[in-house]
Amino acid sequence: MKILSVNAGSSSLKFQLYDMPEEKVLLSGLMERIGIGNSFYTIKVNGEKIKKEKELNNHEEAFKVLVEELESNNVVDSLEEIKGIGHRVVQGGDYFDKTVVINQEVLSKIEELSSLAPLHNPAAVTGIKAAMHVFVNAIQTAVFDTAFHQSIPKENYLYALPYSWYENYKVRRYGAHGTSHKFVSERMNEILGRTNTKLITCHIGNGASISAVVNGKCINTSMGLTPNAGLIMGTRCGDIDASIIPYIMEKTGMSAKEIDNAINKESGLLAISKKSSDSRDIEDGIANGDENCILAQKMYVRRIVDYIAKYYVEMNGCDAICFTAGIGENAIDTRRDVINELSSLGIYLDSEANNVRGKERLISTKDSKVQCWIIPTDEELMIARDTFKLL
């Protein structure tokens, strides 16, 4: 059965076509600058990567070009072969705790939740509607980033704010990256050969979050109402004293929108390093003795260690710590710095094993009380699996 995984951005369309249940990738690609001019796309088929320039005015045109590529590369003989299309949706609120088949009611709810994910949910809706117009017979599903976190207990997802804010405005912890945390925790359970586990999954990229997962269920996560909570990230500040915001507004006259832009797009590694939001640039700066880059890395690592320690105590121990996503999979120095800070818990790094990028590997020593692993994430595959199971 052929399943298409889709991740639609406001001006992009990422896709991967699978033959299920074998999980064989038949075609993958990314379309960029949709609707903003000078658009182009790259596809990978039969091991060959191809880049093409093509004016794409909207997502429906992008899907039609995808169909052309599927047919011209003999990936499908007919659209009827594609039985399901799974869409990544960032915010499902507390309405969706699992992947669902999309109908008008589901689509309306995703649109309604756009206020909680203004950059992501509208783009997902655009992608869903476009896919429905092009793939008229395929079953469309919504795979929510927040669904995996719906098992978090109330004492962990509520804020100590006026209760009416939760009742009337749904102010609570929702988390994000749930599809990745689910994939990584399931893979770690496969490696350990059991499901009665306590895991700490660290999705560390430009956006970053850490989750505590017990017996396959998430019990806590670092992101909150929005993705700007928890860890220091590329341009997001993460946890701060909330009173900083009215204080700076009073001192500078900045509007709420300007403050929101500052804490989401002008903070994090970018702000402290005064150089870049990219961890690779930070590493280069550290190598050259740049004091701001050194400080940024120390703060970045400290916040990750804080959350790992918090969840270790909350779960009363841990079987494995998993590093995933762009930095987690590839930043050798960051993994080293984090694990070296955990020695008081009896966790020790195997430096030789850690000297790798993007490969699944055990990177803790044999005498470490907790195993530490690199587990490359695959959100597209998780979307395909969930869609296949529904079908």
Strands 198-204 and 208-214: antiparallel
Q: Which residues contact 336 (CB under 8 A, 6 or more apart)?
A: 349, 351, 354
- d(C-alpha 323, C-alpha 320), whole Å: 10
Active-site residue 367, yes or no?
no
Residue 116, helix vs strand vs coil? helix
Of 77, 94, 145, 337, the catalytic one is 145
Q: Which two tokens stand for residue 132?
A: 């429905």
Is the pTM here over 0.75, yes or no?
Answer: yes
* pLDDT tens by residue, the chain, 391 residues: 999 998 887 677 888 999 999 999 998 988 888 887 888 888 998 888 888 888 888 888 888 888 888 888 888 888 888 999 999 998 898 889 889 999 999 999 998 888 777 777 888 888 888 888 888 889 999 999 999 999 999 999 999 999 999 999 999 999 989 999 999 999 999 999 999 999 999 999 888 999 999 999 999 999 999 888 999 998 899 999 999 999 999 999 999 999 998 998 899 999 999 988 888 889 999 999 999 999 999 999 999 999 999 999 999 999 999 999 989 999 999 999 999 999 999 999 999 999 999 999 999 999 999 999 999 999 899 999 999 998 8
Helix (H) or strand (E) holding 4: strand 2-8
- d(C-alpha 220, C-alpha 96), whole Å: 17
List of domains in the chain: 2-144 (3.30.420.40), 192-379 (3.30.420.40)
CA distance to 149, 280, 282, per residue, from 289 (Å)? 40, 14, 10
